[in-house]
Structures are given as structure tokens and as C-alpha cells.
Structure 1
């Protein structure tokens, strides 16, 4: 959000080393600008890497075991096993990309192990890391990021701005005091200020913000006091550390006692916070709840806290730079820190409880977006609960109610938290029972079917022990789901109908909806005419409760039922509506189901290269989502039949080329293709993320034939007769031709064909 100042030499050196080596670490003191330099370099070299540049933020991560999962999530690879490092290595083996690992210093060993494995497996991979410490990886090149250049004591006013530190100060000053200029009256103070702060960007930015209320001379005077205080007690500390401590500490001293206290308490949050969380977790004992808003506003004005603009689905979000957060945390005693983490954990336990109560309703989309934003805090709360086996049962109360949040894109992570708690908190309690059910659900979707059966068996026993009707219904539904995945459709329907009846008796609309979706799927695969009835009932339930995110799955049910009934236009309309509902939530599993079903439609209505490409793109989306569907499942059986039909229509070689091209698409490209919005230019077969055809306008061979017949003035019925295909298939081809060429009428297609022939 702010301009990039200086660093010409560092950028040049970073670019040179990235070109000649595969592992580069930017080191330096906190606040020196390592992350900013890495981001700038990543933006400049992105075109060099055909498979992209990927940024992995590690500051909010504290569990070293989750480093491979976090990298996989950032790379949109969520279909990972219990050994995600090996999955990453296999995925990256043939790709050319740059991965930026930011803030590695607290996870040095885990990062080094993962990086070594990935570099050995993937010759086209380059890694750019930022860390206060080197990683110690073989072949690692190191750039020690220096402070910005600073002027000598005596420099002319016109020359001062040639130095990076002064330019940064002036740039940030313009944001808070637009009329500020450097001149004879303040030149020496500005120069001395940049020198005293040793050219450290964070320190300079913290000082510049005070130009709202102080002159450069006044800032320097107060900073001098801080340096004298530091020097008397820490004469052996490196100058750069003293400069940063001086700037942060001076900002701390200029805060009121209440602001200082809130700063320290806010350090408990990982990745940021909203006002509600700050009020609930940080108020009390000298800070009344009603004062938190004004105190947060004051810390924003002093650049201690950064405000992130709210969107239509969110409230304002606040963050602290890691250096600032750590400074605050150091101001808490061990007892204070522990008590604060307890309050933090309990707040997120309450948040999970509220989500479970409100998650199937009009605010469903807001909840999904909120939970994604709170991901770092959820991790922190869960990890704190797991530190002491006596508290591990608290994980069940947080992670289990969030089962469908994990399902939407963090399968392995949610499963890992619940599995660890199951191993530690072994006492038979209602919380453990529901934790077992949630873990079973995630295990099923992740493909761990044996563990699913074991955990579900214990959950069933506990449901009887505690006479828990809700858990009985959930167990019945999940057993039906598991049987469906294994392909025993009649047994699945029987279990799911029992589950639905139980949920209806309990007035649990989310459970009933899930059972209806699975019943619609099972009857669809069995070609049972009730699939349309179950689909409409699921859709009606979402509309009754205003659960517009769940409506995506209902539209999937309606779409596949319409496809089975040969109502292809209606099927495509509903399935694209399904994908569009899941997009803003980044529900990767839901998107996967939608794109997969659209590929089935394409294969049956227009078995051409576009259909083959979309079948491949469906695999790309599933790879990203993390869901793993067993080879025996009916989903896979339809995939296979669709692929065979297209391969027979266009030939095995052409199918393989187009399918492979689609399978290499990014998530965004795959979704755009499924929605009919893909605008990528054709490229040679096998090029990453690009169609294999090089035909004008990106048309396939069949679409070129249709365009030529349109130019002759033939109707859809006449084209169908000429090509010996159905009229509905012709309509689909015409839609694709118009869409790809960006035209709106058949007459425009005729003009386009004439132009191509003239060329």
C-alpha cells in the first residue's frame, strides 16, 4: 500500500543470485525490510517462472509439523497424505516456479528439512526465504539485507534526498503531513534522525508518523532520550538492534499507560483481530470494554496497529507487524501471558459454538469468510490447548464445530488437530464423542477410510452411552456417506433416509440438508427418479433458512439431476451457479464438485477437445481442494466413462494432449474454463495452463466446422443433420463459438469466417 524506496543494489544482487542458484535467503534484523524486498523481487521475476511465484507467510505459524501443510495450501495443493512433504516433492517435480518463504526464523529446522527435500526432488524449483537466521540448507546463498543508505552528518539540503533513508522518511511524511518539506530549518534534524535510526525502514516509518503532532527536532530530542536510556543498559548490543529497539520503544513510551497495556494484550492474537475479539479478550483490569475502541483507534493513529479495509462481507480487521507484536508480548509476565492465552482460547471456543448455531442461516457466507480470516487465531488457540494434555479436550470444542470449515479447504489440518486431541484426551466425554465424529468425517473425505470406521465405531458407542440423539443422527449420516463412497448405493440410501428422519425429528436443518444432498447423489448414481425430488427439497431448505453458501451444493444436486434427465442447458446453468456461489468463499471442495459435474456435461453434449480439456481441469481443481475420492466411488466411474467417450470421439492422442493441458491449469484457469469465461490464448500442447489448439479464435476443429456452416446460413437443425449430431449439441457448439469469439449474432460469425478465409 506504500511506495517502494531504494534497494537498487539489493534488487540487482537478489536477481543475479536467483538466476544462478536455487536457494536464496534474505537475512537481517527485524524491520530492515526483508519481506518488502522479497515481495518486490517476486513481482519483478514472476514472468520468468511459467508455473508462477507463490508467497508463503509463516509468521503466524507456530507448529513446525504444519510447515509442509502450509506450503501445500499456499501452492493450492490440498490433496495431501499423511506425508505432505513427499506429496509436495512429487507435485513440484516437473514444475518451474519460485516459492517465497517469509519469516522462517522461528521454524528454521522444519523449513530447512522441507526445503532440502523439495530442492532435491524438483530441479525447476527456486526458493527465496526471509529469515533473521540462515537456514543451513546445502547450496544456500545468503544476502544480508543492510539498512537503507544514510547521509553523513553534514550534507546539503538538495543532496539529502539522494539517500534512501531520507527518501523513505520524506515519502512516509507526505502521507501524514502533506505540506512537510526538507529545508535549512529541519535538514540537520532529519539527517540526524535517519542516522540515529541506522537506516532501518521500520524504525524510520515509526518516527515519521509522529510528524502529525511533532516537528523533526522534537522527534529527535525524544529519541535522543531513548538512546541514552538504551545505551546505558545495553552497550554491547548491536547498533542496528539498538536503533530498532529505540524506535519501537520510543513509540511505546509515547503511548499512554492504557495504550501500552492494550498493545501488550493484543500481542496474543496471531494474524490479526477484529474489534469484537479485542474487546472480549483484552478488556478488564484497567481497560474497560467501552475504552477498547478508542484505544485501538489511538494505536492505529500511531502506526502501532494497521487497519485493513473492510469488505462487504467483513468488519474492519487490524494487524500488527511481527516486530511490533513481539515487543508487546515481551511486556507481559509469564502469568499474564498464560491468562491472556486462556481468554484467547475461550473466545475462539465461543466463536466455534456460535458458528455451529448460526452457520446454516442468512450469515453463512460471512461466517466462512470470517473463519478464513481468523485462521491464524484458530491455530493459536488449538495449539495452546494441545500444549497440556489436561487441556487437550478443549480442541474438540473448537475444531469439531468447524468440521465444514476444514472440509471446505483445510482437510488435513483439521484432521490433524482432532487426531492429536483424540490421542491425548482419552476420557470418554460428550465432547470427545463429537470430536470423533468430526475427525471421522474429515478422514473419509481425505481418503483414510480405515481410520474412519474405527473412530466412527467409538463415536457410535459413546452416542448410546450418553443417549445423544444428535450424534446418533450424525453417525447414521456419515455411515451412509462412507457406504456411498464405496459404491453400495442401496445401503447408502437406507442409512441416509434414517439419518434424515432423525435430523428432522431433532429440527436440525443442517443435518437434514446434508442427508438430502447425499440422498440426491446416491439416487442420481443409481438412476433412481427420486434424485430430482431430493434435489428440490435440499434447494428449498437452503432458501427457507437463507443459507446461500449451502445452496451451492443444492444447485449441484439439481444440476446433475437435470443432466441425467438430458436437460443439458438447465444442468449447465445450475452447475455454474453452484461454482459461482463457492468462489467468494474459496470453498475448494464445493468448486471441485461443480467443475467435475460440468466436465461430465461437456463430455456428453460436446465430446471434443474442449471437453477433454475440462475433464483435465476438473482433476486440477480436485488436486487443489485436498479431497480424495476413492477409485471405487461412483464419482470416479462417471469420470472414467466421460473420458472414454471423449477419447473415442476425438482420438486417444488428441484427448491425451487436451486432457494434459487442462490438468496443468491453475485453479483460476480451471474455474474460468468451466464457467465459459476462459480467455487464455491458445498455445502449443502441453504448455502450462494453456489450451493445446492453435486455431484462430481458439476454436476446436468441430467448432470451426460449425462456424463455417453458420456462415453458409444453415439453421441449427440443418447443421445437426449435416454433421450427424443432435440439435442440442449444435446449440452448445454455437454458444461456445459465440463466446470464444466475443460475438453476439450468427451474422457476426459469418463475417469472422469470411475474414479468416481472406487471410
Structure 2
């Protein structure tokens, strides 16, 4: 057998569990290394160990009989003979390897053996537990995976990379993980979910393929990952065979669920799984598949989702194609998305739980958009585009793409669907400064709503967007009339969250027309409602407007506090916050405390605006231009270039983190550390290691160490602990 790589923590934990409990089931998905770990565990025992391979067996007690070397007893059963042999030993361990195809029989035999042999301990390896009283389940998952961007030293600290290197060297002695291939090796291991069998089979291709070549072929991994060692049983010689073994043991309903869930290609929750599997409640199905190690459960922010390991998903997707499940699933996903969206289209804006539900399933929304376009189902296509416009992606801007909105609007649609799409298109162009296009779309939505007169929420929304467009295209008096009408409509339907959004829009528009004092009470009420009811991205907007009013009143410290709060509450979606970076920069310039930081923040936000074509309103753009001019007049040439360069290089999350730190106090300006060094120092103060900081910032641990060293030298500190203390005192 090949050398055993890694799993030190798992081996120690298994030893502790085995010492305290008589029955331990080692469970995990195909290719996770259950048998290898059991071999290592058994090999460390000084007591009697019997290894019982059950793959070729059809009779459990007969397999155990031969494994323990029992002898026939006159007029006694085979079980009695096994028990007699077991009782001869002081502290025996019986290992039952690969129980999944004989699970009921194994459970029956083990239950009796444990009851009649008080010194016996049993270790079972299986894709699912035996479900016996007193059983301790030890779930075996993926090997440790390095973060993207790891250098060689960092990557080789992880078991997945160590295993790849060991198995590659076993077939090609010249192989090494180096700076030229480390990114590809890491990508291969991550793509294979850290599963040992898949990594081993991939590494053995090193005789003819480079890691980059292996990575490029992983889309067809079930064909690529074959030809394991000849000593392996047939299930472990190809990845396909290992997965097929698990799939074939499933019931018809479980197989159908595996196939249909594989079509999704993204994590899913119970609600989605029920819709896709065509059952009222898929809880029992998901529970069974998770217990059989065919689903991975993930929990975050109180929400549970499920996913298939990618290799399992690809196998099941092949089966889905064979069974004609792909179109069925796509249609069921469309049904699900439309059922979530349609009840909300008559509201001023969708309820936050609905948006959150769609956010969590953005991949399904994309699938539904493509499916309805492919089938020409334009009415439901409109609803899927609405869902896209309501959802957010932390890596990009909110809302649907321009082309998607315009294509949907080019089709014949029911009036309510067309109205909600046109107002969303108007909002889309408003963010990009296209005020005349915004006005055109908003007018169309308003005319549809006026004709129907039964949806006060959508009528108020059309009025709000049109009002902002009228104000920017030369008719502010009409704008105030539209805003006032919308306020009355929402008062009658008592939608407090919608009222908060509307009042903020009204206040922001008034502010841009020099009416800060008229705007202030509206925004104050909006902010109260948003603090009470609003999700972070809506609270962001109210805090931003409140901060802008503080700027207009020359209350710069208050503005800084408001923009800082906005950055803090909205950190889950950085794309909402480029406006807040600008606001904070304006406040800092007004205070006169940190022009370099202000210029870096202005530059970072400008990069986002350019990338996504987000154009500032003329009022706001004038403030930004003035602030840049002030900064450039007060900063020396060298520091000016450094500040702008810092802003250009930072990602948006990094810029937000930088914005929320304070400038260190120092008598000598030359001793002040750089923005990146300050950022690293704040993370050191949080107790993060260099590796963790590197993962957070997307840089190597070696680079982190260099920043730590430079920061200590500039500040005259002798240790990392002193740097942590300094950062703790100099950051909020």
C-alpha cells in the first residue's frame, strides 16, 4: 500500500473515540480515505485486530468467521464459534471494512456481538452509519486545502498538496511542487474537493500530464481519473467506479434525487430541493443522502444548505442526462423562482426575506433566466429577470444587466410584468446617470399603473423614480409633486419600509437641488425606519444621505461618523459601499485630518465607478472634484502619487477595511506606516496568523511577514505582540 499522508488530527481523534466507545463508524463519501485511515488506526494497536473486508462478501457472519480464524463447534452455530474465538482475547478490535451494501446484516451481527462479547470493540467503515444504540459516528471529510494564491511553502503545509506530490513522485521521480506549478496543483486539489482518491488518481497522470494539463481536463474527470494501483480493489481504480458503487446502492427515489440535484450545480436548501425533487418535503430524502455521504451540509448565518461534491455531481449529472432529467429540473427551477417573485411584483419593493431567499439561490435564478429564454416563455422570463434585478452578488453590482432588461422588454408581456420591468430598467439607468432614459422608462411604468389604479405600491415606485428623473432633467417642481403623491400613496397602504426608501430618495433629490434643510426631516424619519426595518443595503442609503446632509451643513465630524457607520453595517456586500468611501473621504477632507487617506479612498471608489459605469450625480461629482483638488493642493508630490497608487491597488473590501482604521500618531511623518502595513497591523491585533491575513487580503504569507517586519521597523517596535498592542490602541 502507498505511504499514508496526513490525517494526523483525524487519526488522533479516532484513537480517542475508539478508546472511549465500543462501536465507532468511520463514514465518508467515495474516495475519502476511510479504509486507509482504518488501516492506520488498527496498525497502532497492540491488541488483537481482525480485518474483515466486506466488498466481496455476501454473508457477514461468514466473512467475520474467516477473518477471526474461528473453528467449528459441535452442535453450535457459526455465530457461537465467532463469539467463542472473540472471547479468547483480552481487548480485541474487529474492523468491518465497506459495510454499505450489507448495512442491515452488519447492524444485526454487530449488535449481537457487542451484547455477547463485553470486551469487543468494533470499527466499521461505511458510506453511512449502522444506526445502532451507542454508535459513535466519525465523519471523514476532505483533506486540508490551501487557499488560492498560496506560495510553495504555504501549499506544502496542507495534506491535499502533500498527497498530490507524494503520488506524483511515485510515478515520476523528477516531479516537484515549485513556483511554476504550485497554483495549478492547488487548483487541482481544490477542484477535487480535497478527496484523497481523486487527488491520487490525478497525481498519477503526472507521467504524461503537467498539473496545468490535469486542471484543464478536470471537466471530464470521470474519464481522466482512472488507472489506480493494481493492488487496489476495482472500486478504487477509477473515480467513476467508486462513485458508481454508492449510487447503485440507493433506492430509486434517492437516485432520482441525486440526479436532479446534480443538475442545479449550486448549493441548495430544503425548499429548493423539495421543488426540484417534486415532493412536498424533501427532508427525509436529504437526510438519507447526507447519511450516505452523498451530500455535504453547510450552515451559515442560521441557514442550512446542501451541496454535492463536484465529482459526485458530475457523475450524477451524467445519469440525469441519460434519464432526461435536465429539462425537467430546469422547468421546476423556473416554477420555483416565479413562485417566489410573482407575489411581490405589486409592491413598492420586494420584502427583505424574499430578496434574501433569492440572494441565497442566485445560481438558480440564472438557470431560470436561461431556461425561459431558451423556451421562449417570455412572461415567466420577465419574472426571472425581475428576480435577477432584485438580487445581489458580493463580487459585482446589484441588479440585472442592461442587455437582459432590454431583451425582456422587447417581448410581449402582461402589463403588470411590463410595469415592474420598466421601473427596474429606469432604476438601472438612474444609477448610471442616464436621466433621459430613466425618465422614459419611468413614464411608461407610470402610465401602466395609472391605467390599472389597483397597485398603490408599484404606482408609488414609478412616481419615485420618475420624480428623481424629472428633477435632473429640468422639471423639479413636477418632481416634488410626484414625490408628494407617492408619499400619500404609501401612507395609505402603511408600508413603513417602502416609506423609508421613498423619503430617503426624496431627501437625496432635495439635497442635490440645494434644499438641505427641507431634506433633513425626511431623511431623519427615513433613517429611523431603516434602523428599525431595513436590511443593510437600504440602511446604507439612508446613512449616506444623512452623511451628505451633514456635509452640506459643514458638520464634518458628524459626516465622518455617519459614513463610518454605513461602512460598518454594510460590510457583507462591499459593492453597496463605494458611495460611502467617497462620503467618508469628503468628511476627512472637511475635517482636514487625513488628506492622504481621503485621496486613496476617492481613487478606490473611482475605480469601481469606472468599472461598472456608475456615474455620480452632478451635485455629488462637484463635491468629489473639489475634494480631489483640495487634497492635491495640500499633499506633497511624492505622497500624492503614493496615495493614488494605494487607492488604485486596493480591492473594494480592502479599501473599506482601510477606511475604518485610523491614522497612527507619529511625530516624524517618515515613520508613519503605509496603508497596507496599517491594514496588516490591524489584522495582527485581531489575532490572525500570517496565513490567515494572507487569505483575507489575497496575498502570500511571505508578503504579510514582510509588511509586519517593515511596520515594526518604522514604529520602533521589537515584536509582533508590540505591533498588535500598538494597532489595538490606534484603530477603532
TM-score range, shorter chain: 0.5 to 0.7
Question: Cα distance 1:743–1:260, how it changes in 2: closer, same or farther (>3 A)?
Answer: closer
Equivalent runs, 1:86-485 vs 2, <5 Å: 130-132=215-217, 147=225, 150-152=228-230, 191-193=231-233, 197-198=236-237, 200=238, 203=239, 244=240, 246-284=241-279, 289-290=280-281, 292-308=282-298, 310-321=299-310, 323-325=312-314, 327-328=316-317, 330-331=319-320, 337-353=326-342, 364=352, 370-389=357-376, 391-400=377-386, 403-406=389-392, 409-411=396-398, 413-423=400-410, 425-427=411-413, 429-449=415-435, 451-467=437-453, 468-483=455-470
Question: Cα distance 1:520–1:452, how it changes in 2: closer, same or farther (>3 A)?
Answer: closer
Counterpart of 1:537 (choices 503, 522, 525) is 525
Q: Distance in 2 between matches of 1:604 and 1:33?
A: 51
Q: CA deviation at 1:493?
A: 4.5
Question: Cα distance 1:338–1:743, how it changes in 2: closer, same or farther (>3 A)?
Answer: closer
Counterpart of 2:554 (choices 558, 562, 566) is 566
The answer on whether the counterparts of 2:507 and 2:522 sit within 8 Å (CA) in structure 1 is yes
2:674 aligned with 1:682, yes or no?
Answer: yes
Aligned to 1:68: none
The answer on whether the counterparts of 2:296 and 2:308 sit within 8 Å (CA) in structure 1 is yes
Aligned to 2:567: 579
* SS of equivalent residue, structure 1 residue 629: coil
* SS of equivalent residue, structure 1 residue 315: strand
Give the TM-score of the pair, scaled to structure 1.
0.58
2:580 aligned with 1:594, yes or no?
Answer: yes
Q: Distance in 2 between matches of 1:129 and 1:576?
A: 47
Q: CA deviation at 1:387?
A: 0.9
Q: Distance in 1 between matches of 2:526 and 2:658?
A: 27
Which of 1 and 2 has higher RCO (CA within 8 Å, sep 6+)?
A: 1
Q: CA deviation at 1:262?
A: 1.8
Question: Cα distance 1:543–1:255, how it changes in 2: closer, same or farther (>3 A)?
Answer: same
* SS of equivalent residue, structure 2 residue 569: helix
* SS of equivalent residue, structure 2 residue 674: coil
Equivalent runs, 1:483-502 vs 2, <5 Å: 483=470, 492-502=479-489
Give the TM-score of the pair, scaled to structure 2.
0.59
The answer on whether the counterparts of 1:382 and 1:417 sit within 8 Å (CA) in structure 2 is no
Q: CA deviation at 1:264?
A: 2.4
Q: CA deviation at 1:432?
A: 1.8
Q: CA deviation at 1:695?
A: 14
Question: Cα distance 1:481–1:251, how it changes in 2: closer, same or farther (>3 A)?
Answer: same
For residues 558-581 of structure 1, give each alpha carbon's deviation from its aligned partner in whole angstroms, at most 9, with x where no partner exists.
Answer: 222223333333322222121122
Q: Distance in 2 between matches of 1:26 and 1:697?
A: 30
For residues 366-390 of structure 1, give each alpha carbon's deviation from its aligned partner in whole angstroms, at most 9, with x where no partner exists.
Answer: 665543331111111111111122x
2:227 aligned with 1:35, yes or no?
Answer: no
Q: CA deviation at 1:418?
A: 2.8
Q: Distance in 2 between matches of 1:39 and 1:486?
A: 59
The answer on whether the counterparts of 1:697 and 1:740 sit within 8 Å (CA) in structure 2 is no
Aligned to 1:2: 143
Q: CA deviation at 1:470?
A: 3.6
Q: Distance in 1 between matches of 2:613 and 2:474?
A: 17
Q: Distance in 2 between matches of 1:473 and 1:697?
A: 54
The answer on whether the counterparts of 2:471 and 2:479 sit within 8 Å (CA) in structure 1 is yes
Q: Distance in 2 between matches of 1:317 and 1:327?
A: 15
Structure number with greater Rg is: 2
Query: How many pairs align?
Result: 513
The answer on whether the counterparts of 1:595 and 1:674 sit within 8 Å (CA) in structure 2 is yes
Q: Distance in 1 between matches of 2:460 and 2:599?
A: 40
The answer on whether the counterparts of 1:470 and 1:503 sit within 8 Å (CA) in structure 2 is yes
For residues 360-419 of structure 1, give each alpha carbon's deviation from its aligned partner in whole angstroms, at most 9, with x where no partner exists.
Answer: 79x84x665543331111111111111122x12212223325534259844474444332
Q: Distance in 2 between matches of 1:264 and 1:36?
A: 19
Q: CA deviation at 1:33?
A: 5.8
Question: Cα distance 1:358–1:472, how it changes in 2: closer, same or farther (>3 A)?
Answer: closer
Q: CA deviation at 1:314?
A: 2.0
Q: CA deviation at 1:300?
A: 1.4
Where does structure 2 lack aligned partners over 5 or more consecutive residues?
1-141, 145-159, 197-211, 665-671, 680-696, 716-722
The answer on whether the counterparts of 1:305 and 1:318 sit within 8 Å (CA) in structure 2 is yes
The answer on whether the counterparts of 1:34 and 1:145 sit within 8 Å (CA) in structure 2 is no
The answer on whether the counterparts of 2:419 and 2:445 sit within 8 Å (CA) in structure 1 is yes
Counterpart of 2:510 (choices 523, 531, 537) is 523
Q: Distance in 2 between matches of 1:14 and 1:374?
A: 40
Across the aligned residues of Structure 1 and Structure 2, the Cα RMSD in angstroms comes to 4.8
The answer on whether the counterparts of 1:264 and 1:328 sit within 8 Å (CA) in structure 2 is yes
Q: Distance in 1 between matches of 2:532 and 2:676?
A: 49
Question: Cα distance 1:416–1:587, how it changes in 2: closer, same or farther (>3 A)?
Answer: farther
Q: Distance in 2 between matches of 1:514 and 1:316?
A: 31
For residues 247-284 of structure 1, give each alpha carbon's deviation from its aligned partner in whole angstroms, at most 9, with x where no partner exists.
Answer: 33221111122211222232342302111221233134
The answer on whether the counterparts of 2:527 and 2:539 sit within 8 Å (CA) in structure 1 is yes
The answer on whether the counterparts of 2:433 and 2:615 sit within 8 Å (CA) in structure 1 is yes
The answer on whether the counterparts of 1:607 and 1:646 sit within 8 Å (CA) in structure 2 is no
Q: CA deviation at 1:597?
A: 0.6
For residues 546-605 of structure 1, give each alpha carbon's deviation from its aligned partner in whole angstroms, at most 9, with x where no partner exists.
Answer: 655522222222222223333333322222121122112x1512x112111101101111
Counterpart of 1:658 (choices 614, 637, 643) is 643
Q: CA deviation at 1:315?
A: 2.6
